[in-house]
Amino acid sequence: MKTLVYYPAGKVGEYRIPDGVESIGESSFEGSEGLTNVIIPDSVVDIGWSAFSGCIGLTSVKIPDGVVSIASSAFWNCNNLSIIVLPDSAISIDSWAFMFLNNLTIYSNENAYACEYAQENDIPWLDILLILLGKQFILFHLMIFLTVLPMMGIFFCITNCLTAVLIKFLSSIHT
């Protein structure tokens, strides 16, 4: 298994993990405060213990399809991380993987383990639909509320489809 074992802590900006890397090793990015974006290839299946711990420059991360496990403290102390997109393939997420991230919201499909994980760990969760447009992702979040109001024996349906149609270009998240 090809494992990324080290990222120079003084390096700043975006980093693209090389294609073919299958595991992001323990503490490989730990303390890399200047890291602002990480592009994880589809070849990665495992994110190791404390892999991104202390990467306070990260604000959003897309974990690609194929990642199966995310170890304890993988994103611990990434205080500015507010969006993490998790794939259906992530079926083993340690309960401490995203601990102490007060502003984090997990985005995943409703039937994915990530949804259950978020609920079990009191982390806000939102259902997503990701549409690829070139190398950009557009994140659509659509919540539909249906309210049926009885009024004088007649039921009125009020549907609100606008409640958080969140269209956000995640310019820092690439394929």
88-118 pLDDT, tens digit each? 999 999 999 998 898 999 999 888 999 999 9
pLDDT band at 129, cuts 50/70/90? low
Q: Closest by alpha carbon to 60, among 133, 139, 147, 153?
A: 139
Domains of the chain, first to last: 3-125 (3.80.10.10)
Cite the beta strand spans of 19-162 per DSSP E: 23-24, 35-39, 46-47, 60-62, 69-70, 83-85, 92-93, 105-108, 125-127, 129-133, 136-140, 145-151, 154-160
Tokens of 28: 């490989």
Predicted TM-score of the model (pTM)? 0.73
Distance of CA 137 to the CA centre of its chain: 13
User: pLDDT tens for residues 18-65?
Assistant: 999 999 999 999 999 999 999 999 999 999 999 999 999 999 999 999
pLDDT at 99: 86
Average pLDDT, the chain: 78
Which strand (E) or helix (H) includes residue 113? helix 113-120
Q: Closest by alpha carbon to 121, among 134, 138, 104?
A: 104
Tokens of 10: 């003084």
Residue 170 has pLDDT above 50, yes or no: no
Q: Closest by alpha carbon to 60, among 90, 26, 85?
A: 85
Strand partners, 146: 159
Residue with the bigger pLDDT between 74 and 111: it is 74
Residue 135 has pLDDT above 80, yes or no: no
pLDDT > 90 fraction of the chain, expressed in percent and rounded: 63
How far apart, in whole angstroms, are the C-alpha atoms of residue 13 and residue 1? 27
Contact by Cβ (8 Å): 17, 41: yes
pLDDT at 141: 37
Dihedral over alpha carbons 105, 43, 36, 174 (to 10 degrees): -80
